[in-house]
Structure formats: structure tokens, C-alpha cells
Structure 1
Amino acid sequence: MGKLDGKVALITGGNSGIGMSTAKLFIAEGAKVAITGRNQTSLNAVSEKLGSSVLAIQADAAELESMEKAVSKTVAVFGKLDVVFANAGISSPTPLGGTDLSFFEEVLKINVTGVFCTVQAALPYLKEGASVILSGSTRATDGAPQRSAYAASKGAISSMARVFVSELSPRGIRVNTVVPGATRTPIWNKSTPEETMKLEAARANTIPLNRMGYPEEIANVVLFLASDDASFVQGAEITVDGGARSAPLGAPIYL
């Protein structure tokens, strides 16, 4: 038996990276999965790859009406909704003194407003025992230069999660947050494989386990939080970063 047998999940930003890996794992564990994204071409590609257990829906996470339609379609096709992974997000540089305000606001709209819209749209269908998982980032606390908007947005996720816990606990709905560190997703790809390898090596040097993570490793934690194995886990933040957040001085660059 799979850990999600008979469950229905919605994953925003499920057309690439961590979201796609999570969708694949959820399906392998017995779930039906709806994925959303803004790029129809990549949605089609993931749908073809994962088969009939996935429903690909073009939607904008930061638009409430768009997410309401996506959730309604999910329930119409699969009959219910048990798990929400609010994963969609962007990471654009916003250097102080050189950032157009529209870029700053776009990051906050997608990463913060988008999470709120996703959970609010799903709420009418979530019953006792449902699981909501938010996607944070170690960028919220590491002070990385030129990432003010992204860091602020992921710090907001932690704060918003606490409020969701207070509001949804009386309904028996769990809310937890997965906090990835540097993970090998397409967002890291440079113009050449050599440049990508150089970047990955530089990041690995700042991580105690001396490597970047894989999307599948993040997905494994999301699976735990989605499953009944985590039935008494509420309001948790699980960091998946090879030790970079908890013991930064243990990284090879300092040894």
C-alpha cells in the first residue's frame, strides 16, 4: 500500500523542480494529483510523463479566481481534495538601489499572495485530516545579497503558517512548512553545463554535507507531511538543506 492511497492532492508550481518531483512521488504512493502552473507547454509535458493520475491545470496562483477554478476542476475530476502543497514561487534578484518596484511586487504577489489564494481557494473542500504544506526557504534567514523580496516573501510564509495553524486546527486540518536549501532544480541552470557545475560546486562548499540537494529529497519530506505518518505534526518547519542553516560553520569552506 502507498502512503497516499485514495488521497487527492493539489500542487501549485507542479510543472517543474520540487513540485514536479513531489507530484511524481505522490502518484507513486497512490494519490491522484492536480498540478498547476502558468506555462501550458511544460504542464503538457509533465502530464504526458506522469500519466492518467495527474491533472494539469493552467492557473495563476496569485489570482484567487484562477485558483478557485483550478480547485473546482480538481474536485470535479477526482471527487475531493485531501492535500495542498502551495509550492509555486519565483526568485528574482532585487538589489537595493537598482530594482524596479514592479519586480519587487511581483515576487511578493506570487510568493505570498499566491500562497494565501491557494489555501483560501482550497479551504471549502478540505475536511478533517487534510494536510496543507507550504514552501519556505533558507533564504528567509541567510541574508543573501540582492534577495530582499524573496527573503521577505519566505519569511512571510513562516509567519502566515502560524496563523493558518491557529485558524485551521479547530477543523482538524494540519499546516506545516518545508524549508529547502540549495536544491538542484532548473532555476540554478546557467547558460552552459560548465557554468552550472561551477555554481553547484561553489554552493556545495557552503553546505556541511558538501553538496546541493535533489528535488526528490525535498519531495520525501513533503510526502511525510502529507501522509498520516505526520498525523500529530502541526505547525512544524522542517529544514532540508544539508545542515547549512543549523551549522553553517560546519561547511567545507570553513574547515
Structure 2
Amino acid sequence: MSGTVVEAVRGKAAAAQLLSFSGLFAVYKAKGCTSAAALNRLRAKLLAVVGIGKGTKMLSSLLAGSKKYTAVGELGKATDTFDSTGKVTEEKPYDWITKEDLENVLQKFTGSIMQVPPIYCALKRDGQRLSTLVKKGEVVEAKPARQVMVYSLTLRSFKPPFLTLDVECGGGFYVRSLVNDIGKELSSCATVLELTRTKQGPFTLEEHILYEDKWTIDEVARSLECCMPLLQEEPPCKKLKMELSEECAMNSEDK
């Protein structure tokens, strides 16, 4: 057969294999790349999305599960987006802040807390993302504070003005808002410089993430084989509801 025919046959076989897949797997999104851009690159390689077949219906419940982040923040500087991509809106001194001050403040942001989402976010008004409306020049009011869950919050390192945090939280939580609020609580200001999600539901960065150099059909097949059994153990949304109920019970007992 000619080279063109061989490639066509291989392409059909690959497409058939891809269409036989169903489930979820985790991919790595590089810094500075949006989720949409990462998915577009994945589609270009696989002609599919991260959730394949029936797996797309499982994405919403997965995103409701617990997640972990490592965040690097900078004291003394605030931006309109609460991270390094935005415009600096405020600068304040931070010289007096000690490691002990930081650790004491972190305790106030652990457990069930109220949090105001950042204006630059994926939340919507009239069907459009707030971040899109802001970029269009429209006046956007911050969403009301809402209850969120922080399971653990620890200070990994502090080298003024930089601090590194490990955060485990529930769905709907914004690390950018957390760092911004920590800065205010310290009578200064702060913004996020780097943010890495290290866990989403049962998927961890170390064990389950598929990096871009392995976005091939064979690697996706292996990743699905590894990841799907994890989802059968306990639905993330169910686990989250149980944890929230336990937390509420504990708070009631404390009162």
C-alpha cells in the first residue's frame, strides 16, 4: 500500500480506538495556559476531550470533590486579578510580618469559612463570565460571600516577601481570594505568583497526571486504566457532603 493509504488506515484504527474509550483521566496544564487552550491542544492531538464518552458526565461531580494546591504568594502587593497576571492596584509595607504572624493568621482561614470570589473568575452573570464582562469594561460587582471548606492550610516556607502555602479545600474555593484575604488580615496586601493544583478528587499530580508529551492514544488508554478504578471507590460529591456534615456537627458541638 502507498504511504497515504497506510496513514489513512492507521488514522481510522486510532479513531476507532479513541471512540471506544469512556471515562476520565487527568492532564497537566502548564503555567500561563488556560484550561480552554490546553483542551484545544488536546483535541488537536486526539480529536476528543479530557472526559471521554460517558466520562464527560462525571466531570461536574469530580470537580465538587476535594482538591489540593501549592501556592506561592507575594506580600506587599495587590492586583485586580489577585494574581501576577493583573495590574497592581495597591502596595503596602510588610517588613514587620513574621513567620509566626503568618501561621497565626492561617488558623483563621481553616475549616468552614466565608469567602468572596474574585471578580476575575469563571462565575457568570447573564450567561457570561465575570472576567469577560470586566475585560469588556462593564461594571461588575463582586459576588456575595459564600461558605467554603478548607480542610488544611499550612505554611511551607516564608522568605519575605514570598510565602508558599499548601492548601486542601472543597469545591468553589479560590486560592487567589485566600491569599488576598491573608494579606488584608496582616494589615498589608498580597497576591498569587504561582499556583499548582496537586490533587483533584482522587487524582494526584505525582501519580496520575498525563503531561503533554504523552498525549497519545496509547498513553490515554493507560491513563484511563489507571484512573477509572479510583472513581469507583467513592463519588467525590458524596464524600464532600459527608465531610461537610461532619464539620457542621463538630461546629455545633463546639458552641
Higher relative contact order (CA 8 A, sep 6+): 2
TM-score by length of 2: 0.29
Higher helix share: 1
TM-score by length of 1: 0.29
Tell me which structure has the larger Cα radius of gyration: 2
Higher strand share: 2
